Amino acid sequence: MRLIIAEKPSLARAIADALPGGTKREDGALRGHDTVVTWCLGHLLEQAPPDAYDSAYKQWRLDHLPILPTRWQLAPRAKARSQLAVIRKLLKQAREVVHAGDPDREGQLLVQEVIEYLGWKGPVARLLINDLNRPAVQRALSRMEDNARYQPLYRAAESRSRADWLYGINLTRAWTLTGRQAGHDGVLSVGRVQTPVLGLVVRRDAEIRDFKPYPFYVLWADLAVANGSLRAWWQPGEQQRLDEQGRLLERAPAEALAARLPGAEGRLTSLESRQKRQAAPLPYSLSALQVDAARRFGLSAQAVLDICQRLYERHKLITYPRSDCRYLPEEHLAQARATLTGACAQDETLRGWLAGADFTLRSKAWDDRKVGAHHALAPTGKPAELARLERAEADVFRLIARNVLAQFYPPLIAREVKAEFTILGERFRASGQELLQPGWKPLFTTRDEAPPLPPLSEGEGCRVTASAVEDRETRPPEPFTDASLIKAMMNIARYVDDPEVKRTLREHDGLGTEATRAGIIETLIERGYLVRQNKALRATRLGSGLIASLPETATRPERTALWEQRLTAIAERDDDPAPFLSALVDDLRGLLSKADTQRLRQAMAAAQGEAAAASPRTARRKSPGKRRRSRSEPGRSRSKPRRNA
């Protein structure tokens, strides 16, 4: 008997449906002619608790730390014992075993650790399924590989699991016990990913809280030119008092120039024009989808993940969603027309987009070299009856289908123009963009672009018809939202100061994984470290106090991102995990030595004082109304350039 062990029941059902001759249900399994399909329920096993190694560890004590297992143990999860017993019984009857975990690091771990825990000694085949539709599953069943090929992936996942245990167990116990001594009654949870994510929010909140606005001034002039009119902006020179972004800090020079401008004549002294060609955005990874869905529909990252799981498992409308890849296999290109026609047939919006697609085009999205265990999210081709889906499910499905359809649209082509005028010896700048070919753009927005500049010729004259000085004020950075925090986790190197580390992380960017980022945000909320205020994510007093009490290195992303780099090396290059874990233990000892009762007490008190001081300011501060801004207007009113978060 061949035994296939799937990661979850939905995957097991899809495999059973693809087997010849059908299957019948029995306790914890689906039995076919010569094949039985059973399943895990996510992780059936977990790292054993500290007291499994020594009963003394049931009591939390600082003098026990660090707790360092010499021989690692796994333990069944409480709700998994019955399914584990089913798999144990079936393994005794099996002549061959097939590992059918999801095609990623965690999927490799959770099935393989069960197979090894239950003592199977025979060979194991690996079944990799990205798409739950029957033809795709049948193709996967015909292409099974030797599971030995994925041993490095398993070792990386196992190392991650052990490292997380060491880091979380020891630091959580240390800071919880120190917190009790400082008067805090409750667990202070510390994790290798959740704590740096909390640190990002705490530091952003501090920037907002400590921000000191100041005024600056801009001067614009409406100009009549040979073929129309435009608005240009004064560029004050170095003789004026400017901030680091070149903004004018005194009103008097702008007023003096404005008084001289009416009717003044000048000349176009510099004209730059260039044609810009922009390809369509790539198909989605999960994180990229979470960012867009949060911005467009106000969905939390966890809601998007849950929706994608339903579209994948229940409705079978999309391919495997927990992907960090934005490229598609080249073999999918030949079936793209049929796949998208099926997916779009029953929705008016999608049919309209499909009608404009040119399937003779090939974008850079189709690239086997950039596809690993996963490929980008894509429709499976099953007809999507969006009217029968929840509204949010239909919205997310349209986004996924749209980004694949966009690969069959021509590029957007625009002409960008920058003009500089000299008037009364002063420089004025204007810029505009003319859309020459919309290409894929109508699939993404229906908003009108700002009007282009009129036709211009270098050297032509101009005359000022109106002008004014505007009072502006710098604004603090925006608080994090689900969208911006997910994007920050994806592009964590931007939040690293050390230039060497920043360079290293550009190739191994990311805090957390596609599968865990949404859960990290929800965990921080559940533990009382973050709260949602409308769309904003803000740190609580408890969250701010915890970050202030920890060594800074435990609250910043460098260590965590470098962990991921080491784990990737284990998975891809078969590096030895031992040096990674040994270096972690040395690091852990240093962090534990910095647990300090007085520091924690002061941190909690300071966080409470800051929260109390910020509340009245927050209540008084009114959100400024949105004002439509010309393309040629100077940048946002901020004292610092906003990070692309």
Residues designated as active site: 320
Q: How many CB atoms lie within 10 A of CB 228?
A: 12
Classify residue 401 by its DSSP letter. Answer: H
Distances (CA, A) of 330 to 334, 366, 402: 8, 5, 19
Please give the Cα distance from 309 to 306 (Å, whole number): 5
Instruction: Report the length, in residues, of the chain.
Output: 645
- SS3 of residue 104 by DSSP: coil
Residue 64 exposure: Cα atoms within 13 Å on the Cβ side? 20
Residue in this structure with the two tokens 């874990």, named with its chain if needed: 581
Yes or no: say if 601 and 183 are a contact pair by the CB < 8 Å rule.
yes
Residue in this structure with the two tokens 């921000």, named with its chain if needed: 211
Residue in this structure with the two tokens 């003394």, named with its chain if needed: 56
Please give the Cα distance from 115 to 126 (Å, whole number): 12
Please give the Cα distance from 363 to 360 (Å, whole number): 10
- SS3 of residue 90 by DSSP: helix
Residue 615, exposed/middle/buried by CB under 10 A (0-12, 13-18, 19+)?
Answer: exposed
- SS3 of residue 75 by DSSP: strand
Residue 155 exposure: Cα atoms within 13 Å on the Cβ side? 19
Please give the Cα distance from 272 to 221 (Å, whole number): 20
Residue in this structure with the two tokens 């986004």, named with its chain if needed: 399
Both tokens of 160, joined, read 């991650």
* Torsional class of 120: left (φ above 0), alpha (ψ -120 to 50), beta (otherwise): beta
Return the closest-CA partner of residue 642 out of 207, 82, 199, 25: 207
> Which residue type sits at 270?
S
